[in-house]
Amino acid sequence: MSRRDKHSVAIVPLFLSLVLDGTFAFDHVAASASLKTLSLANTTVLSSTNLPEPVAVQTRGACDQWGWVSDPICRVQVNIRTSATPSVYAEAWLPDTWYGRIVGLGNGGVGGYMYPLLCLPHSLALPRSPPTTGDIYTGQYFLNNPDVIKDFSYSATHLQTVIGKQLVQAYYGRPHDKSYFLGCSTGGRQGTQAAFKCPEDFDGIVAGAPGTDWNHLLGWWGGMECEFGAPKTPGSSVSYILRELWDVVEAEVLNQCDALDGAKDGIITEPDDCNFRPEVLFCSSTKTEKCLSQSQVNALKKAYAPLAGDSNGITGIIEGSTLEWYLNTVFNNTSYNFSDFGLPHIALADMINPGDAAMFSGDFSAFKNCGGKFVTYHRDQATLSARTTSSNLSTLDTFYRLFLVPGMQHCNSGPGSWAFGQSQGLNVVNASTRNVLGGRGLGREGGSA
């Protein structure tokens, strides 16, 4: 069974014609209006609006209040009931000029808003339907609600893809040709989950810096924060390193390790070869500025060491995804203060594995057999990539590729050559050699990955 006929589709009759350049010519206003009464399973169409000119639109959630629409689209907003209690808010931006491809977008952190990414596939004439499962760094929706955790883990991605394909069918009057997923960090994990759990959803998946070892990742971050003084007030711990001193630390790391790859260019290509010695930053009687105390150096050494044994663990206070995930899904206790946070708590997270968010095993076989292509990338080292796969190395190249990007920070930015169309609307060109969605990474819509 193909991806396009797996789910029933409610088709709205549209009078349109396909022209040679891949675009459709029809009444976009009427087509947009027709979606308002479209009947979709467990789904309410909240609005369907034709936007014929560039415009700023108000968005939902805590990330950005406004999003920019650069080209004519139909903006569709839907609410998908996923179980008895929770629901997923999603949007589909359907461009007037369309080439038969669709893309779903992943989230970041512990939440569900990623409007900064919407401009990216839009410029490539790809309809997209992003899932929104909660505020970007707020885990309050997870508390005592396993169905919401399941939605965050993988279910919302699947459901918004099913509904998104139906909206595309109804709007354009024909099914899509190819379906893609694009995400990084949490989005990378969601893309990996899609390949494992819903292998027919996407023809190609771009899963950047995938947080697949989810519980360990957030536990490690929390443990590292503890070493620098969490959960105390920032600056109140003797091991806390002020923001301006991190520039000193970074400069010393580069001083010791930048040239190991033969080029002193501000990029450490092989971090495993870097044996950073923070003790050279000790303060002394002759060095009292831009230096570290013994406690700070000890904390820095632990940050570079594996989190193992009986260790308890940058900001000096537990925050962000670690705070939200552990309080609201692992502990189900928002009053816990992290004063004794350590390996036993990470082990508890392993045992519970809320929503199956951490993938302790993985099987790409079904995705591969469907003809899927999987591209993943990471900063310098693939430390968060899927830990296991049913395929051996000799069979991976036909469908799975890993690209390490020296000098890239998490998902984007940094001194390296990191802009390849994966985020923030940068390097957005509809050229197969310059963009990860349309380029060699996904096999030019055929052949090897």
Q: What is the pLDDT of residues 234-245, one digit of tens each?
A: 667 888 888 889
- Beta bridge partners of residue 66, listed in sequence order: 58
Percent above pLDDT 90 for the chain: 23
Return the pLDDT at 17. Answer: 29
Q: Rounded CA gap, 356 and 143, in Å? A: 16
Residue 99's pLDDT band (cuts 50, 70, 90): confident
Token duo for residue 288: 């009292």
Beta-sheet pairing, 73-81 with 87-95: antiparallel
Residue linked to tokens 């609201």: 328
Is 87 catalytic? The answer is: no
Where does residue 440 fall: left (phi above 0), alpha (psi -120 to 50 degrees), or beta otherwise? Answer: alpha
Residue 15 scores a pLDDT above 70: no
What confidence score (pLDDT) does residue 367 get?
94
Contact between 178 and 445 (Cβ < 8 Å): yes
Give the CATH architecture of domain 17-214+356-445.
3-Layer(aba) Sandwich (3.40)
pLDDT at 63 over 60: no
Q: Please, is 285 exposed, middle or buried when counting C-beta atoms within 10 Å of its C-beta (0-12, 13-18, 19+)?
A: exposed
Read off the pLDDT of residues 282-317 as tens digits, 9 standing for 90 and up: 999 898 899 999 999 998 988 887 766 544 445 556
Binned at pLDDT 50, 70 and 90, residue 30 comes out as: very high
Q: pLDDT of 331-355, one tens digit each?
A: 999 999 888 888 899 899 989 999 8
Catalytic residue among 32, 201, 380, 423: 380
What one-letter code names the amino acid at 158? H
Buried b (16+ CB within 10 A) or exposed e, 309-331: eeebbbbbbbbbbbbbbbbbbbb
Of 185, 237, 239, 423, the catalytic one is 185
Beta strands in 122-256 (DSSP E): 131-132, 178-184, 204-208
Tokens standing for 343? 């390996």
Coil vs helix vs strand at 247: helix
* Gyration radius of the chain over CA positions: 23
What own/partner pairs with CB < 8 Å and gap ≥ 24 does 253-258 have?
256/280
**Contacts from 143-146 at CB under 8 Å and sequence distance 24+?**
143/327, 143/328, 143/329, 143/332, 143/334, 144/332, 145/85, 145/86, 146/354, 146/355
Q: Residue 362 above 60 pLDDT?
A: yes
Check if 410 is active-site: yes
* 151 classed as catalytic: no
Sequence ranges of the chain with CATH classification 3.40.50: 17-214+356-445
How far, in Å, CA of 299 to CA of 443, rounded?
45
- Exposed, middle or buried: residue 225 (CB in 10 Å: 0-12, 13-18, 19+)? buried
Do the Cβ atoms of 3 and 180 come closer than 8 Å? no
Assigned token pair, 67: 């999003």
Strand partners, 58: 66
- For 31, the token pair is 């087509």
More confident residue, 371 or 56: 371
Give the tens place of pLDDT for each residue, 103-147: 888 877 776 554 433 433 444 444 544 444 444 456 788 888 888
Confidence of residue 194 (pLDDT cuts 50, 70, 90): very high
Mean of pLDDT over the chain = 76
Q: Distance between CA atoms of 229 and 226, rounded to whole angstroms?
A: 5
Q: What is the pLDDT of residues 143-160, one digit of tens each?
A: 888 888 888 888 888 988
- From the list 64, 261, 350, 410, the catalytic residue is 410
Assessment of whether the complete model's pTM goes beyond 0.95 = no
How far is C-alpha 256 from the geometric centre of its chain's CA atoms?
A: 32
- On the question of pLDDT at 274 being above 80, the answer is yes
**The predicted structure's pLDDT at residue 139:** 76
The more confidently predicted of residues 252 and 88 is: 252
Residues 368 and 359: their CA atoms lie apart, in Å, by: 18
C-alpha to C-alpha distance for 432 and 443, rounded to whole angstroms: 9
pLDDT at 360 over 90: no
Give 369-426 pLDDT, tens digit per residue. Answer: 999 999 988 876 444 444 444 456 667 878 998 888 887 778 877 776 766 766 644 4
User: Phi and psi for 336 in degrees, rounded to 5?
Assistant: -65, 135
User: What was the pLDDT predicted at 430?
Assistant: 52
